[in-house]
C-alpha cells in the first residue's frame, strides 16, 4: 500500500473540564479513536451533527491542537510540533477555510494585498511574479479586477469566501481543510461556492478534507464520506454508494432527513432527540438511546468499525452481523427506554 498524503491513526482529543457544571477531572472526549486516510488529490467529507467532533478533527489534523492520543502523519511523517519552523513549512502546504470569511481576513488589507500576503511572508517569487500569481488566482475564483483594491467589509459574503479561497490556494497547498465553508452563505450563493471549490480542487489536484453538517453539500464535493457521531466514525464509504445504501442507523437517518427531489417531507425518517452530552457518553454504542433498532447488547458493547467489503466501514452490531436494519427511524421502544450512561474518562 502506498503512503497516503495524510494519515490519521487512532486519534483522540480530550478536553478537561474543571469548572461550571462539570466535575473536576471530567473529560469531554471530542474525538475518539478516529482513523482516516487521504490520498493526494482525493476528497474526503466528514459529516455529523453539531458537537460530533468534526472541527476538532480538522484542527488536530492541521496541528493547531495536539492530539491526546494517536498520530497524524503527513507524507508518512509525524506532524511537527505546533509553532516549530517545520510545522510552519508543512502548514504552508495545508490550508484551512473556515465558516466565517470576515474573521479569516485582515480588515485593514485590500483584497490584492490580502491574497498576496502568504507569498510575501514566505518570500515566494519576486514582486512581479507575486502580482501575476495574485491576478491568476483572483481570476480563477471569479473575482473581477474591480474588487482588488476593496476591503473585506466592502464585499459580499460570497466574494469574501472567494478571497479566502484565493489566499488559501496561493501557496499551492497539497491539502485544503474546509470547515463548514458555505454554511454562513446565502443558500443561492452556497451552490456557486461549492461548485467553484469542487472545480478548483479537481483542476489543481488538491486533496480536500471537507467538513459540514450538511450531507448534501458534503456529497457534492466528496469522493468518500466519513460519518461522525459523538467523536467517533460510525460509517465510512464511497459517497454515492453511502448515499444510496446507508448501513448505520445514524447514517440512514441523516440520508433520509436530507432534502431530495421527489421525496416528500412526510416520507422522511426524522432522527429523534438531541445528541447526548459528550461528557456523559452513553455506554456501549453511544447512539443506542436514539437508535430505533437497538438490541440489549448495544447498551453495553461498543461496536468496532468493521470493514463490510465494498469500501464500506460500519460500527454497528447489527450491520456487522449482516442484519438488515429496518428503515423506520421512529424510535418506539428506544425513545421510552432510559439510556445507560457513563461519564467519559479522559
Ligand atoms: N476548546 C474546547 N474546550 C472544551 N470542549 C470543546 C472545545 N472544543 C470543542 N469542544 C467540545 O468538543 C465537542 C466537539 O466539538 P466540535 O467543535 O469538534 O464539533 P463539531 O462537529 O465541529 O460541531 P459543529 O457542527 O457545531 O461545528 C463538543 O462537545 C464541544 O463542546
Ligand atoms: S450498534 Fe446497536 S444501537 Fe448502535 S447503531 Fe447498531 S443497532 Fe443501533
Ligand atoms: Mg464545527
pLDDT digits (tens, 9 = 90+) for 106-136: 999 999 999 999 999 888 999 999 999 999 9
Name the residue at shortest CA distance from atom 24 of ligand 1. Answer: 50
pTM score, whole prediction: 0.90
CA distance 74 to 90: 8
User: Residue 292, Cα to own-chain centre: how many angstroms?
Assistant: 26
Burial readout 71-87 (b: 16 or more C-beta within 10 A, e: otherwise): ebbbeeeebbeeeeeeb
Express each pLDDT in 14-64 by its tens digit.
998 766 655 555 789 999 999 999 999 999 999 999 999 999 999 999 999
Distances (CA, A) of 207 to 96, 197, 302: 12, 11, 32
pLDDT of residue 275: 80
**CB burial class (10 A; 0-12, 13-18, 19+) of residue 151?**
middle
Query: How sure is the predictor about 331, in pLDDT bands with cuts at 50, 70 and 90?
Result: very low
Task: Determine whether the shortest distance from the Cβ of 298 to ligand 2 is under 6 A.
Answer: yes
Domain spans, the chain: 105-164, 246-336
CA distance 302 to 342: 12
Name the residue at shortest CA distance from atom 29 of ligand 1. Answer: 51
Residue ranges with CB less than 5 Å from ion ligand 3 = 55
Residue 334 has pLDDT above 60, yes or no: no
Q: Coil, strand, or helix at residue 135? A: helix
Q: How far is ligand 2, taken at its centre, from the CA of residue 284, in Å? A: 9
Ligand with an atom nearest the CA of residue 64 = 1
Instruction: Name the nearest CA neighbour of 167 among 104, 124, 221, 222.
Output: 104
What would the grid cell of residue 121 be?
511572508
Task: Determine whether the shortest distance from the Cβ of 285 to ligand 2 is under 6 A.
Answer: yes
pLDDT of residue 338: 37
Distances (CA, A) of 163 to 94, 126, 195, 249: 17, 22, 15, 39
Query: How sure is the predictor about 258, in pLDDT bands with cuts at 50, 70 and 90?
Result: confident
Task: Determine whether the shortest distance from the Cβ of 293 to ligand 2 is under 6 A.
Answer: yes
pLDDT of residue 256: 87
Question: Which is more confident, 42 or 145?
Answer: 42
Amino acid at each position: 500500500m502506498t503512503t497516503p498524503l495524510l494519515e490519521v491513526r487512532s486519534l483522540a482529543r480530550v478536553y478537561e473540564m474543571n469548572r461550571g457544571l462539570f466535575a473536576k477531572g471530567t473529560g469531554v472526549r471530542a474525538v475518539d479513536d478516529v482513523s482516516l486516510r487521504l490520498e493526494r488529490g482525493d476528497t474526503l467529507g466528514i459529516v455529523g451533527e453539531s458537537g460530533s467532533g468534526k472541527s476538532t478533527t480538522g484542527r488536530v489534523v492541521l496541528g493547531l491542537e495536539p492530539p491526546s492520543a494517536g498520530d497524524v502523519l503527513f507524507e508518512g511523517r509525524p506532524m511537527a510540533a505546533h509553532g516549530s519552523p517545520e510545522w510552519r513549512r508543512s502548514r504552508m502546504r495545508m490550508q484551512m477555510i473556515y465558516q466565517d470569511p470576515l474573521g479569516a481576513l485582515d480588515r485593514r488589507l485590500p483584497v490584492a494585498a490580502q491574497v498576496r500576503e502568504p507569498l510575501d511572508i514566505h518570500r515566494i517569487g519576486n514582486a512581479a511574479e507575486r502580482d501575476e500569481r495574485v491576478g491568476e488566482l483572483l481570476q480563477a475564483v471569479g473575482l473581477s479586477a474591480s474588487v482588488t483594491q476593496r476591503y473585506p467589509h466592502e464585499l459580499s459574503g460570497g466574494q469574501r469566501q472567494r478571497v479566502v479561497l484565493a489566499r488559501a490556494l496561493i501557496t499551492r497547498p497539497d491539502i485544503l481543510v474546509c470547515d463548514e465553508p458555505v454554511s454562513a452563505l446565502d443558500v443561492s450563493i452556497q451552490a456557486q461556492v461549492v461548485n467553484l471549490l469542487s472545480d478548483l480542487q479537481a483542476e489543481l489536484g488538491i486533496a480536500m478534507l471537507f467538513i459540514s453538517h450538511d450531507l448534501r453539500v458534503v456529497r457534492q464535493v466528496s469522493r468518500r464520506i466519513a460519518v461522525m457521531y459523538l467523536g467517533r466514525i460510525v460509517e465510512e464509504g464511497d459517497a454515492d454508494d453511502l448515499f444510496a445504501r446507508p448501513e448505520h442507523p445514524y447514517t440512514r437517518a441523516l440520508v433520509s432527513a436530507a432534502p431530495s427531489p421527489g421525496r416528500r417531507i412526510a416520507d422522511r425518517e426524522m432522527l429523534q432527540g438531541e445528541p447526548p452530552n459528550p461528557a456523559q457518553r452513553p455506554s456501549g454504542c453511544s447512539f443506542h438511546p436514539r437508535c430505533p433498532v437497538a438490541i440489549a447488547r448495544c447498551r453495553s458493547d461498543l461496536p468496532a468499525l468493521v470493514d463490510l467489503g465494498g469500501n464500506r466501514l460500519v460500527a454497528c452490531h447489527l450491520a456487522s452481523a449482516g442484519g438488515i436494519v429496518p428503515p423506520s427511524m421512529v424510535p418506539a421502544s428506544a425513545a421510552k427506554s432510559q439510556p445507560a450512561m457513563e461519564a467519559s474518562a479522559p
